[in-house]
A and B are shown apart, each in its own frame.
Chain A
Amino acid sequence: MPAGTWYSGEWGISSLASRLLGVVADARLMRRGFHSGTPRPATWAERSTAVPDRPSDLAWARMEPVRSIRYGIQKGLSAPFAEVMTHPQIEGSEWVQQLDRPAILVANHSSHADTPLLLHALGDRVRERTVVAAAADYFYRRPWLGRVVSLWLNTFPFARSGGAQEVMHRSSVLLKSGWNLLVFPEGTRSPDGRLQPFKPGVGHLAVENRTPVIPMHVRGSQRVLPKGRNVPLPAPVRIRVGKPLSPGAGETSRDFADRVEQAVQALAKGSTSPELTGSWIERWKASDKRAPRPRARLGPEAPE
């Protein structure tokens, strides 16, 4: 057989195919060997919930030029990807467009796709001023992963176990600095898509800071990236945004958290009651782009 034909030799198609198959075989071996994408074997020791020694609040992620880089990534990659994969149907977005002060954005959580989809639904103006509470023991266990998600989604480490005071303090500082806070009060992804009980921290945060809470609900993200999968699949997603809720006078943080949970549940059921989604006149006025909008009251940047 003559050497140098298109199908033989070092760069022939046979060789290239062989190399490609080799890479695939290695990847498959690693994947199977480390059980990625499958439940953790029962014989393995419990995974440590270790938090980095000195968790940083990653202030660098909220500074220039990182903010501009993140804007480019989200506009150029995340948004088109979300549109193509999920055709997100967004209802009630006017409630976040008219934010005139920092708010806590509260949503159900059933998939890693929730965060980019919710940020996409917020629109440029609000997304640019939103930080996301990310599980410290999951995303920040590996420093490189923490940096990547902070760059991409503007996350900060949120400890799910221990150090509640510290976490609440850091969250309050961010709210007072003019940042909106996106949190998932269920604490972890729902295994079956159903809403799990909310943790009371969100009520505490809202009552302590007198901050409005915007309930949101994502439906369909579980089909895009269910728990245990790493490769997203195309599926339609609906995101509903409810009318902002504010803690009532004398309302305890526990009661307020319950009220927020009920609002998210009602959004999940598709309720269109004016108490939840606002009357059409309220929503119409909220969506008026011609009306002068009060500037967001942005405080000084949080101290390091």
Chain B
Amino acid sequence: MARPGAVIEVDRNTPPTLFHYGEGFRLERLPLGSRIVYPPDPIDPIGHPERAIRRALSNPLEDDPLKELLRPGMKLTIAFDDLSLPLPPMAAPDVRGLVIEEVVDAAARAGVEDVELIAAISLHRKMTADEIRHIVGDRVFTTFWPDRLYNHDAEDPSQNVLIGRTNQGEEVWLNRRASESDLVVYVNLTLVPMDGGHKSLATGLGCYRSVKAHHTVDTLLQSRSYMHPPDSALHASCVRQGELIEDAVRVFHIETSVNNHSFPAVANFLQKRETDWTTGDQAAFFALKQVTDLAPPDVKRAAFHSMLAPYGMTGVNAGQVDKVHDKTLENVRRQMMVPVEGQTDIVTLGVPYLGPYNVNSIMNPVLVVCTGLGYLFNLYKNKPVVREGGVVIIEHPCRYEFNAVHHPSYVDFYDEVLADTTDPHEIESRYEKRFAEDAWYRQMYQQSHAYHGVHPFYAWYWAAFTLQHCGDVIVVGGDRATVHRLGFKSATTLEDALEMAEQTVGRWPSITHLRTPPLMLCEVD
């Protein structure tokens, strides 16, 4: 039985607390009385994933068994989530690969000749051959790559078709191959509650015109939070789009969930609470810290990005999208939920080296905001951990560095847009369309491995609610000029940051530290 998450109050005996700090770490002493929220330990994975997958395909939820849907002469499309999930990437075999192998096996037995596999990248960068191979596995890759296994292209007009409009007027576009298929099998991996469900297909195989229906500042401001789909306007929009797709295309949905075993054995101490660190863990941390303090960023990045997480599969369900997603969310909450009593004046968190949009890449300053204030801050249910008008303190080096191949539009967003304004509404109204329709960014997205031109805007919008909700954001240890460009305050130490925060929230503030990753979902009452 895995140990549930916990909220610990800092006292004299509490060891220093680990803060992730980009490709490094900091140990901080939190003031007495502060709270530290720890995620639950990894729950036990399913012992025999392949068997569980076969069982799920044979006994789907409110749908026919997969083999009854397959017949010779049909057109079958298998779509799957891209590398933005899970984080860090899963050590081989990836559960998506296991599922795809079973689906392909069933198609081969049924004699389905016309099979294609599409990576549902939406507006993310196109994955490299090696990245796709890692997800689908060698056998699938060597059989289908590159003619029948490829990345979705959201900017090719010939490859996308308009399915229709929802009753709210949202356009619904879908990959042409999927729309013309007799059956679309979607293979998902859900890491956090915002993933999966109708969002998978509607977004993953959609294009800018369908994604922009819900990736707006207003929609995200109305999502409290988007990590809790029932209270999320973003997910409501995705459901409307997904239902329209279900009316037009036969969809067989498969979702998997994994536990939060996020670090390999060599960095196992990152998975543990500081109080559980053995002498060996302490020595390992000390050594790693010295190395990360001295090593150049490129070296550290290469080392960190080579780490793969030994996740275990905790659930697999197949069938009708809504029914499947309900079951998946149960599994995800079972792993992630931590009850937290009441809100707090100040929340502290360390932003790690990795977010959904910089796998095998650089976490640039815009992505620091997206990861820290967009995703990690919003890992709550009911209410944010910090009260309205409170302060968020994040720790990250915030260097001015970008990956020119993956994030070309991010560079211009930072240099041009953020130099003008950091207000999400203003950014949306004045700049989004130009970046989204820029021919050069489109070219980079289609021909290279670049994120779509509009992507930095969405990364910024994810943080819109945090920026509106909080009275101040302070970055500890960040490059001062970069932090100011982002519109935040810069502090050298956590003590300084807490002093500065008192200017906003008053003396003797309550402080809560979110010790994440591993990821967790704070259920605040």
Contact = CB atoms under 8 A, between A and B. Distances in A.
Interface stretch (B141-149, B193-201, B279-287, B423-431): B141-149
A285 B142 contact: no
A272 B147 contact: yes
B115 A280 contact: yes
A223 interface: no
A161 interface: no
A254 interface: no
Given A91-B142, A279-B113, A284 B147 contact: no
Contact of A283 (B105, B111, B143, B147): B143
Given A91-B142, A272-B147, A284 B113 contact: no
Contacts of B104: 284
B3 interface: no
B108 interface: yes
Given A91-B142, A93-B142, A287-B142, A281 B113 contact: yes
Interface in A86-126: 90-94
Interface string B92-128: 0000000000001100100101010000000000000
Contacts, number: 29
Given A93-B142, A94-B142, A287-B139, A280 B111 contact: no
Interface in A260-304: 272, 279-281, 283-285, 287, 289
A134 B142 CA distance: 30
B219 to A, nearest CB: 41
Nearest to A289: B139
A123 to B, nearest CB: 12
Contacts of B108: 280-281, 284-285
Nearest to A282: B108
Interface string A172-187: 0000000000000000
Residue from B105, B142, B148 having most chain A Cβ neighbours under 10 A: B142
Contacts of B143: 94, 280, 283-284, 287
Nearest to B114: A280
Contacts of B144: 280
Nearest to A90: B142
Given A281-B113, A289-B139, 8 more contacts: A90-B142, A93-B142, A280-B113, A280-B115, A280-B143, A281-B108, A284-B108, A287-B143
Interface of A: 90-94, 272, 279-281, 283-285, 287, 289
14 contacts: A90-B142, A92-B142, A93-B142, A272-B147, A280-B108, A280-B144, A280-B148, A281-B111, A281-B113, A283-B142, A284-B139, A284-B143, A285-B108, A287-B139
5 closest A-B pairs by beta carbon, nearest first, are A284-B108, A281-B108, A283-B143, A284-B143, A287-B139
